[in-house]
Chains A and B, each alone.
Chain A
Amino acid sequence: MSLAAIAFFVFASAAIASALMVVVSKNPVHSVLFLITAFISVAGLFVLMGAEYLAMLLVVVYVGAVAVLFLFVVMMLDVDFVELKQGFLQYMPVASVLATIVVVELIFVVAVWSLPSNVELAHPSPTAAETVTDPNGPTNIEALGLILYTDYIHYFQIAGIILLIAMIGAIILTFRTRDGVRKQDPAAQVARKREDGVELVDIKSGQGLS
């Protein structure tokens, strides 16, 4: 077995196992952590397929942003999961009908899948990595950039404008300038003179400051 095959089986089994744990584990924080493991395993699979840019994107976007956001939401919101699970039996009939439908669909999918014939086994079709990746050609990101900044420049720029509008909207609708916030102003602090802050008073003994 080649190194790539070993890596494939390691990543694939890790992905399936952690995906299963996402659903099974009782603690939602653990679920999110397993979700992150699943993402990373899938990213490994992408690398094996020669889609290194997609793999990095998955790690940066899904692990770095989405999953961490999930984690924050799960930890910040005080959701009582025991309470959520109440009425489980009550909804069981509906759930079992849905589950049956999904299972039947899965059976259909498996039914139309056939084992490779002897001819196909003798001449296996090349994998994605073998067909796409040309070691001398442009890398994934170069190829993407070449298209994105030429053929699709119009859409790319509009997408940028849409994101800008979304940002303006988020700021307009949520940002409030609050009164009474004490901000540190280093320049003002440094510019302050001794005379501004200190007052010398002669106090006669026994009289005090009135």
Chain B
Amino acid sequence: MGIFETLSFALPELVLVIGAMGLLIAGVFLGDSAAKHISLASVGLLLIAIILVIFGPGAPTASLFDGAFRIDAFSDFAKVIVFAAAAVAILMSDRFLGGEELGRPEYPVLIVLAVFGMSLMVSATDLISLYMGVETQSLALYILAAFNRDSRRSTEAGLKYFVLGALSSCLLLYGASLIYGFTGATSFEAIASVAKASDANIGLVIGLVFLISGLAFKVSAAPFHMWTPDVYEGAPTPVTAFFAAAPKLAAMALFVRTMVTSFPDVIDDWRPIIALIAVASMAVGAFSAIVQTNIKRLMAYSSIGHMGYALIGLAAGTSSGASAVLIYMSVYVLMTIGAFACVLMMRRRGGMTENIADLSGLSRTNMPLALILTILMFSLAGVPPTAGFFGKWYVFLAAVDTGMIWLAVAGVIASAISAYYYLRIIWFMWFDEPAPAFERDTGPVLRFAAWACALLMFPILTVFMGPLIKTAEWAAASLF
């Protein structure tokens, strides 16, 4: 393959990175006043990238750069959702950043660069490209967490994220070096051909444990979740909305691809680890969230719990498990974006409010918002017939199919416990004395995003779950 033919397969990434650099230069020359236009332009870039992923030139499956970068249905699926989630996150930030006088052209540029890292992650089929994709993404995210540099909490969030993220990168690299040492290969395909069940080396397994630890940090699964609540609370709210959606899906997709394509024959060694992480995450998500009073912290613990459910699908290690992870994560991304759109609408005269108590009696002061939040909370809790229920259903089904009934039972118990705090919010909104009303003027983007996500959760996806499942199955099949 010539260089131009090779590059034509990586066109979405090229568009993103070259566009980001162009916008950066434009931002420098036009100054902070152009932040809004740069935002819109970067949303345009992401849309172009989505179109290129779906309709772009090149074969549907290709492996580039000596097997470092792979395009297949799985990466296409993840990329489309990541790009879309990032575009919505940029649009949702506009008003908030303008209000806090944080509107700077570098903000959307950094998001686009982070998205570039994520798209490298979901296409990575080599330990080196895995690491470099993770670093590209993480470095941009550290900066975004500390974006409100005059706020002590934001800088604290950025620093905490950076230090712990660097530690997790160390674990990941150490694991990767052990795996390279014991298999003599860095590409997933070559590792899979060496790592056979019969001679599963103890050194390889130790490397695998470290690699899993590093990746578990990136998806914020327990016991590597410590950074999540602090970073979510401290970072500016639109940044948190972005953190909770796109990077989670990208990291989870990377996790699935790494485990399933490079260690398929040693699944008996890594399945218990993943199952343990899944149970721990669900437990942390279920119990720690109960005592939270800040809605951003609550969402952080809730996302830890959701990662646990998604990891059940990975623990299954089958094609239906991988497709269940994709279904779960797509639904999760939609729910999270909707929930954060609602959090961004919690604005009173004098600033944002983040306490759960501020939602009291919302049904009487702001009926539409209460309705949206109710649907989203039901969906997050996994109550039928919302889409959140179907996400959990397929994950549990995949676990039962591989004979891990105990894991599915643990998941059901955890979701029953976590339903308590989701339903508590609904109780506050419908049956409590009203707190002062929020400002009505929230801007069309937030309203549209919140409505769209809520309606997708129920009833649109309830009825049209079939196409999503078909697409996810088609995407997951390309891994096996």
Bound complex: CA A47 to CA B64 (Å): 37
Query: Known interface pairs A154-B65, A158-B120, A158-B132. Does A168 touch B109 (Cβ–Cβ under 8 Å)?
Result: yes
Residues A131-186 near B (CB distance < 8 A)? 151, 153-155, 158-159, 161-162, 164-166, 168-169, 171-173
Query: Known interface pairs A172-B147, A173-B149. Does A165 touch B139 (Cβ–Cβ under 8 Å)?
Result: yes
Nearest A-chain residue to B110, judged by Cβ = A168
Bound complex: CA A169 to CA B147 (Å): 9
B140, A165: Cβ atoms closer than 8 Å:
yes
B192 interface residue per 8 A CB criterion: no
Question: Which residues of chain B are near A161, meaning CB under 8 Å?
Answer: 17, 113, 116, 136
B8 to nearest A CB, angstroms? 15
Query: Known interface pairs A172-B147, A173-B143, A173-B146. Does A158 touch B136 (Cβ–Cβ under 8 Å)?
Result: yes
> How many of chain B's residues have a CB under 8 angstroms from any CB in A?
29
B199 interface residue per 8 A CB criterion: no
Bound complex: CA A171 to CA B149 (Å): 12
A168, B24: Cβ atoms closer than 8 Å:
yes
Bound complex: CA A195 to CA B455 (Å): 70
B439 to nearest A CB, angstroms? 29
Mostly, the B contact residues are helix
B106 interface residue per 8 A CB criterion: yes
Question: Which residues of chain B are near A171, meaning CB under 8 Å?
Answer: 106
Nearest B-chain residue to A177, judged by Cβ = B32
Q: Bin chain A's interface residue count.
A: 10 to 19
A159, B132: Cβ atoms closer than 8 Å:
yes
Question: Which residues of chain B are near A153, meaning CB under 8 Å?
Answer: 65
Bound complex: CA A161 to CA B110 (Å): 11
Point out which of A154, A164, A171, A173 has the most chain B C-beta atoms below 10 A from its C-beta.
A154
Nearest A-chain residue to B132, judged by Cβ = A158
Q: B110 contacts which of A159, A162, A165 (Cβ < 8 Å)?
A: A165
Question: Which residues of chain A are near B136, meaning CB under 8 Å?
Answer: 158, 161-162, 165
Nearest B-chain residue to A153, judged by Cβ = B65
Query: Known interface pairs A165-B140, A168-B24, A172-B104. Does A155 touch B110 (Cβ–Cβ under 8 Å)?
Result: no
Interface string of B363-399 (1 = CB under 8 A from A): 0000000000000000000000000000000000000
Bound complex: CA A2 to CA B147 (Å): 61
Interface string of B321-358 (1 = CB under 8 A from A): 00000000000000000000000000000000000000
A172, B132: Cβ atoms closer than 8 Å:
no
Point out which of A155, A159, A161, A166 has the most chain B C-beta atoms below 10 A from its C-beta.
A161
Question: Which residues of chain A are near B146, meaning CB under 8 Å?
Answer: 173
Residues B128-145 near A (CB distance < 8 A)? 128-129, 132-133, 135-136, 139-140, 142-143
The residues of A with any CB-CB pair to B shorter than 8 Å are: 151, 153-155, 158-159, 161-162, 164-166, 168-169, 171-173
The residues of B with any CB-CB pair to A shorter than 8 Å are: 17, 21, 24, 64-66, 68-69, 104, 106, 109-110, 113, 116, 120, 128-129, 132-133, 135-136, 139-140, 142-143, 146-147, 149, 158
